[in-house]
């Protein structure tokens, strides 16, 4: 686990496997561990799978924040930490964050996949 400091928060980031990065963004009320065995299964396909706990969730250190702009900035920091564009899979409200950042900062993305966005 790596911790990324962003504007007074510490985001917990787990990495699995080697290869091109695939970042998983969980929805509201979930956390990185919600992806379960999917992380290992995806990594077995030759990917570097990264799942992080959003601000206020799981092992990240910060009180919950309802302002989506803050969560979007946090996702940008996670992707900038990688140092190269990534494929990003956003689930539920994590899909909304992914779409919003992709519209604003497309250079951070190789591709976008969204599941069950509200």
Judge contact between 107 and 79, C-beta under 8 A: no
Q: In a structure prediction context, what are the per-residue pLDDT tens digits for the chain, which is 118 residues long? A: 999 999 999 999 999 999 999 999 999 999 999 999 999 999 998 999 999 999 999 999 988 888 999 999 999 999 999 999 999 999 999 999 999 999 999 999 999 999 998 8
What total number of domains does the chain contain?
1
Range of the domain at 24: 2-115
CATH number at residue 29: 3.40.50.1820
- In angstroms, the CA 99 to CA 82 distance is 19
């Amino acid at each position: 686990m790596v911790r990324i400091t962003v504007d007074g928060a510490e985001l917990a980031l787990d990495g699995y496997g080697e290869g091109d990065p695939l970042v998983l963004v969980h929805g509201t009320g979930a956390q990185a561990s919600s992806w379960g065995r999917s992380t290992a299964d995806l990594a077995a396909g030759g990917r570097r799978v990264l799942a992080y706990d959003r601000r206020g969730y799981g092992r990240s250190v910060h009180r919950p924040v309802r302002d989506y702009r803050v969560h979007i900035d946090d996702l940008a920091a996670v992707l900038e930490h990688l140092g190269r564009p990534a494929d990003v899979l956003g689930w539920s409200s994590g899909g909304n964050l992914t779409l919003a950042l992709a519209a604003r900062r497309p250079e951070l993305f190789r591709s976008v996949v969204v599941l069950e966005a509200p």
